[in-house]
Structure 1
Amino acid sequence: MTDETLRLTARIRGVVQGVGFRYWTARKADELLLKGTVRNHPDGSVELVAEGSVSDVSRMTDWLHSSQAPGRVENVEFELSDAIGEFRDFRIVG
């Protein structure tokens, strides 16, 4: 990966399970050409790990905070770091 790529690790809380959140997040990630994973956690939250360009990662964080995200997002905790290139595509896991 180049130094112009970032890794977004996010924990999304609210009403985000059972509402198609992972599906629509994966579609948005594909649209933005991001690579990574999205998964449900037992506590009702969703974890997103995505790598891509700075602008596409920024668009994803904007989307997560918008009314376009499915369900009801109450809180997004996220961390940005350098991309490590471990993903070949974007997948729904777990």
Structure 2
Amino acid sequence: MGSLFKEFFNKGQSNESNAEVIYTNDPLDNSSTQKCRATISGRVQGVGFRFTTKQAADEIGVRGIVRNESDGTVYVEAVGSQEQLSRFIEALRKGPSPSSDVDKVVITYDKNIEEKTNFSQAN
């Protein structure tokens, strides 16, 4: 990763956020691999949020997707261990992009999420 992108990403790691995280259900029972979807609202489009979300997922080892939604939110599907997902959800709450301002992250654990081999950005 180029130094410009690394510097941009690193700025987002120190973001302070009072964003609310809402869990709609409990983690999946008896599973070492957890699957969840997240809807992130706030200033999360047009600020490098998807790019930096992918960078955070790659660093943590989470697999899945991130995409912008037509209502101005960002949608994420993530697969990993409970520890990985906890770290990833915290990154989403803070807003991995230094230009983002996250208001709320809604998390739903869902066993039907398709397993991916990596983490990708969708348009």
Uncovered stretches (5+) of structure 1, i.e. residues with no partner: none
Uncovered stretches (5+) of structure 2, i.e. residues with no partner: 1-29
Q: Runs of at least 4 residues of structure 1 off by over 3 A?
A: 81-85
Q: Distance in 1 between matches of 2:112 and 2:81?
A: 9
CA deviations on 1:36-93 (whole Å, 9 max, x unpaired) are: 0000001110000010011000101111222x52200011111123475521111001
Tell me the TM-score normalised to structure 2 length. 0.69
Task: Indicate the residue corresponding to 1:20 in structure 2.
Answer: 48
Count residues in correspondence: 92
Q: Distance in 1 between matches of 2:81 and 2:110?
A: 12
Question: Counting helix residues as a fraction of each chain, which structure ranks higher?
Answer: 2
Q: Distance in 2 between matches of 1:55 and 1:7?
A: 12
* Secondary structure at 1:65 match in 2: helix
What is the percentage of aligned positions where both structures have the same residue? 36
Task: Indicate the residue corresponding to 2:86 in structure 1.
Answer: 58
Task: Indicate the residue corresponding to 2:110 in structure 1.
Answer: 81
Paired residues of 2:66 and 2:120 also in contact (CA < 8 A): yes
* Secondary structure at 2:90 match in 1: helix
Residue from 69, 73, 79 that aligns with 2:96: 69
- CA change 1:64–1:57 in 2 (3 A) is same
Query: Alignment RMSD, CA only?
Result: 1.7
* Secondary structure at 1:26 match in 2: helix
> Relative to structure 2, which stretch is displaced further, 57-66 or 81-90?
81-90
Paired residues of 1:5 and 1:83 also in contact (CA < 8 A): no
* Secondary structure at 1:75 match in 2: strand
Letter in 1 for 2:48: G
